[in-house]
DNA sequence: CGCATAACTGTGTTCGAGCACAATTTATGA
DNA sequence: TCATAAATTGTGCTCGAACACAGTTATGCG
């Protein structure tokens, strides 16, 4: 129960604290028999260094670099800064400096350019959203060769050693399917990808797979699952045509945060009977959720993703904790009645 | 940007660090003009003491007392200890000792008895589940007069100054109603209270109110909302009778963690068409959720409640942070597809 | 054996805040 | 005026880990 200090151990071992220190940090210059004895003692009493004292001595300024999408270009990212602020305030006892570089989420060049600036700022460790697969992979390799640890969130870049925080997208497709299944009786469904064009579409494909797999697992399911890919610029016309072509649609699943486009159309064309499930708590989505045009939203919780990522990084720097290789957040189901606390949390 | 130390300020003010320290802690024995000057300086540069150094010096052992329901008597409480462990591990840098006293959640006497033991352990601060309204009120007043701060969770005791962490129960009733409304077409509904007898029933009443209020807000809603109170010991018979008496029931809302009792009956009587919404991720509930007998569960997240409560207390002791007066957790909607990560998180 | 060098071990300072106590200045009264 | 008390200010040690450097013992070799 008692907490041992280096001094205590020195007395127990009959040597000076300098020797204990050399053993703990494997700094050599210790007689073999003494080293063995001290190591035994350390493990016997399960010595845990006082991290407070260690940090006081180290007294370092930690530089954390962040490479994040610009919230001005896509409101989805707005809440990330809240999560970052929360983590910083929890660790305000330590001197942690953040250098944040924002890139345009529609522009791979901007990503690379901001990455270069980030590198110049000589960060100890990095938090990033690896939005573009190819570019991110190169960038991550570069950090690896420099021995700078990275925590990524939102997108998982496979075959990278970087740690990842996010959701199981396949499973979130299944969640959407289950929700859809519980609110529609029968009739055709559609999966709509409103492609922001810039994102490599792995995201949406995973969700589609999960959605389909749920219905394939049901026996005796007969209705059709249609699919529709729409470019961001031509959204409205294409959507209107699609609805006209498929008059007996009963449910629509939008695989990203753009469900409000569909909601707008459903409302203006008085097709409220079509159930709608989408992603993310953008203000426009939330409004349609409250109005009953959108039935469910799945919350990807970018705020929590950023918070956790930064927290892991700080705990690694300060307490030498391991950064988890992969951390999956729960998939939050949101309807009009439980949305409120999620907007701030 | 630079972090000022007491020594820096002493130099700036042209006095010694002892004087700065006296001003900061209002320990008197400082000439009026010097005091004013130093105070001005402190606020000018927005001095923040180095909490690492402060904690090293203080080097206190913090004693936290906990008064919690025994998980052996009700599985709902099992996950609390996970939350407590997580908080302790996050603050393992500090010497925090927990004395946990478990009471029988069916027995007010046990609550009072364990409270007395807790008092004898001379805690600096207390975490508790104030399960029994009357007794908890007395107990909380006692702590208040002793100037021991308390954080409560799960139950809110109004008119107490203790901080509270939990959910908005009225709103969670509304969430249940919205879910029910989205999965049933029409027909009668029932609110079933399976009273554990020991809890003052405020909990379930709030949920009932919320549930009803949702349907009252709809215009043109005509179906009946029945109500059924069942004592824990006579559950099965009473339930069977109730179902027989109301053959055109389409939805059942169970206001606590006992939905599995209803699920068991629905399954054995082949009444799977009746939709079922309940609370809490007990193993039995989760099984019926996966089997499709229970449609939705609302997660009250006792693990997170305990975690946050303890975290607030520790941050108060260690960093002198304010304990939030009231912290409401989001209301998590769980179906068979998103349940998994909630079981561990 | 003597002496250089290597191998090992002990001492003392630092980080910043907090506090006891010593030291200094100012006020008071005979 | 001077002793003494009161008010004010300064100094130095502590907390525990980390590390530089000084000190000590052992080993090798001519």
Q: What is the CA B134 to chain-centroid distance, rounded?
A: 19
B55 close contact with A: CB closer than 8 A = yes
Residue of least CA–C1' distance to C10: A16
Tokens of B220: 């043109």
Residues from chain A that touch B175, judged by Cβ atoms under 8 A, are 335, 337-338
Question: Which of B6, B176, B184, B337 to mutate: most A Cβ within 10 Å?
Answer: B337
Residues from chain A that touch B215, judged by Cβ atoms under 8 A, are none
Minimum-distance nucleotide, CA of A29 to C1': C8
B116-162 pLDDT tens trace: 999 999 999 999 999 988 899 999 999 999 999 999 999 898 877 89
Residue spans of the domains in chain A: they are 6-49, 61-167+302-329, 169-299
B5 close contact with A: CB closer than 8 A = no
- In the structure, what pLDDT confidence band is assigned to residue A173 with cuts at 50, 70 and 90? very high
Minimum-distance nucleotide, CA of A33 to C1': C8
A17 close contact with B: CB closer than 8 A = no
Count how many Cα atoms sit within 13 Å of the Cα of residue A242 in the half-sphere of its side chain.
23
H or E segment and range at residue B220:
none
CA dist., res. A17 & res. A11, Å (int): 8
Which chain C positions have some atom within 7 A of a protein CB?
Answer: 7-12, 14-21
CA dist., res. B52 & res. B33, Å (int): 31
Cα dist. A321→A126, A128, A223, A326, B251 in Å? 16, 19, 50, 15, 49
What's chain B's average pLDDT?
92
Pairing of strands A326-328, A275-279: unpaired
Q: Which pLDDT value is given to residue B238?
A: 86
How far the first Cα of chain A sits from its last, in Å, is 37
How far the first Cα of chain B sits from its last, in Å, is 37
- Taking the CA of residue B45 and the C1' sugar atom of nucleotide D5, their distance in angstroms comes to 38
Lowest mean pLDDT among A58-72, A305-319, B212-226: B212-226
Query: Least CB-CB distance to A93: which of B51, B174, B333?
Result: B51
Question: Which of A337, A343, A345 to mutate: most B Cβ within 10 Å?
Answer: A337
Please name the fold of domain B60-166+302-329: Rossmann fold (3.40.50)
**Going by C-beta distance under 8 Å and a sequence separation of 6 or more, which residues neighbour residue B34?**
B13, B15, B19, B23
| CB contact residues (below 8 A), chain B span 95-114, against chain A | 95
3-state secondary structure of B117: helix
Q: Which pLDDT value is given to residue B236?
A: 82
B12 close contact with A: CB closer than 8 A = no
What's chain A's average pLDDT?
92
**CATH assignment of B169-299, given 1.20.120.330, 3.40.50.2300, 3.90.660.10, 3.40.50.300?**
3.40.50.2300
Pairing of strands A296-299, A332-334: antiparallel
Is B16 within 7 A of strand D by CB distance?
Answer: yes
Residue of least CA–C1' distance to C12: A18
pLDDT at A304 over 90: yes
Q: Exposure string (b/e) for A33-55, b if CB count within 10 Å is 16 or more?
A: ebbebbeebbeeeebeebebbbb
- Do the Cβ atoms of B56 and A51 come within 8 Å? no
Q: pLDDT higher for B134 or A114?
A: A114
Q: Is the dihedral of CA B45, B47, B52, B56 positive or negative?
A: positive
- In the structure, what pLDDT confidence band is assigned to residue A208 with cuts at 50, 70 and 90? very high
Is B31 within 7 A of strand C by CB distance?
Answer: no
Scan residues 7-46 of chain A and list those with Cβ within 7 Å of strand D.
7, 17-18, 21, 24-25
- Do the Cβ atoms of A335 and B182 come within 8 Å? yes
Q: Is the dihedral of CA A237, B182, A332, A90 positive or negative?
A: positive
Lowest mean pLDDT among A219-228, A311-320, B257-266: A219-228
- In the structure, what pLDDT confidence band is assigned to residue A158 with cuts at 50, 70 and 90? confident
- Residue (of B115, B128, B124) closest to B77 by Cα position: B128
* Percent of chain A residues topping a pLDDT of 70: 98
Which chain D positions have some atom within 7 A of a protein CB?
Answer: 7-12, 14-21
pLDDT at A42 over 90: yes
Residue of B nearest to A177 (CA): B337
Q: What is the CA A30 to chain-centroid distance, rounded?
A: 46
CA dist., res. B124 & res. A4, Å (int): 23
- In the structure, what pLDDT confidence band is assigned to residue A197 with cuts at 50, 70 and 90? low
Q: Which pLDDT value is given to residue B106?
A: 87
Residue of least CA–C1' distance to D9: B19
Q: Sheet containing B163-166: which strands, arranged edge to edge? A: B95-103, B61-69, B125-128, B149-153, B163-166, B326-328
Residues from chain A that touch B250, judged by Cβ atoms under 8 A, are none
Give the CATH H-level superfamily of domain A61-167+302-329: Response regulator (3.40.50.2300)
Other beta carbons within 10 Å of B244: 9
- Taking the CA of residue A42 and the C1' sugar atom of nucleotide C12, their distance in angstroms comes to 24
Query: Closest approach of chain A CAs to the CA of B31, in angstroms?
Result: 31
pLDDT along chain B (345 residues), means of 10: 89 94 93 94 94 92 96 92 95 93 94 96 95 92 94 89 94 97 90 74 88 90 84 81 90 94 93 95 96 96 97 95 94 97 82
Q: Which pLDDT value is given to residue B1?
A: 66
- Do the Cβ atoms of A174 and B337 come within 8 Å? yes
- Do the Cβ atoms of A330 and B345 come within 8 Å? yes
């Amino acid at each position: 129960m008692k907490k041992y200090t280096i001094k205590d151990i020195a007395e127990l071992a009959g040597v000076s604290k300098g020797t204990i220190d050399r053993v703990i940090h494997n700094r050599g210059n210790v007689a073999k028999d003494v080293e063995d004895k001290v190591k035994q003692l350390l493990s016997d009493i399960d010595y845990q260094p006082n991290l407070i004292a260690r940090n006081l001595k180290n007294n370092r300024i930690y530089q954390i670099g962040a490479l994040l999408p610009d919230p001005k270009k896509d409101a989805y990212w707005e809440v990330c800064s809240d999560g970052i602020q929360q983590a910083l305030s929890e660790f305000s006892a330590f001197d942690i400096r953040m250098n944040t570089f924002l890139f345009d989420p529609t522009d791979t060049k901007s990503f690379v350019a901001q990455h270069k600036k980030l590198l110049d700022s000589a960060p100890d460790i990095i938090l990033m959203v690896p939005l573009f697969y190819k570019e991110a992979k190169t960038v991550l390799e570069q950090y690896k060769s420099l021995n700078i640890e990275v925590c990524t969130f939102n997108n998982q870049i496979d075959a990278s050693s970087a740690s990842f925080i996010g959701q199981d997208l396949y499973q979130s497709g299944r969640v959407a399917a289950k929700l859809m299944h519980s609110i529609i009786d029968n009739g055709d469904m559609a999966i709509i990808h409103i492609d922001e064009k810039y994102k490599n579409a792995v995201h949406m494909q995973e969700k589609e797979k999960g959605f389909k797999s749920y219905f394939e697992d049901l026996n005796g399911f007969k209705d059709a699952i249609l699919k529709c890919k729409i470019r961001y610029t031509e959204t409205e016309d294409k959507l209107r045509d699609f609805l006209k072509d498929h008059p007996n649609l009963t449910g629509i699943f939008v695989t990203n945060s753009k469900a409000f486009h569909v909601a707008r159309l459903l409302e203006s064309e008085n097709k409220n009977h079509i159930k709608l499930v989408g992603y993310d708590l953008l203000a426009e989505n939330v409004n349609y959720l409250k109005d009953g045009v959108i039935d469910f939203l799945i919350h990807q919780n970018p705020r929590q993703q950023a918070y956790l990522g930064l927290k892991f990084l700080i705990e690694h720097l300060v307490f030498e904790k391991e950064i988890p290789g992969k951390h999956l957040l729960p998939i939050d189901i949101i309807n009009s009645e439980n949305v409120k606390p999620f907007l701030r949390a």
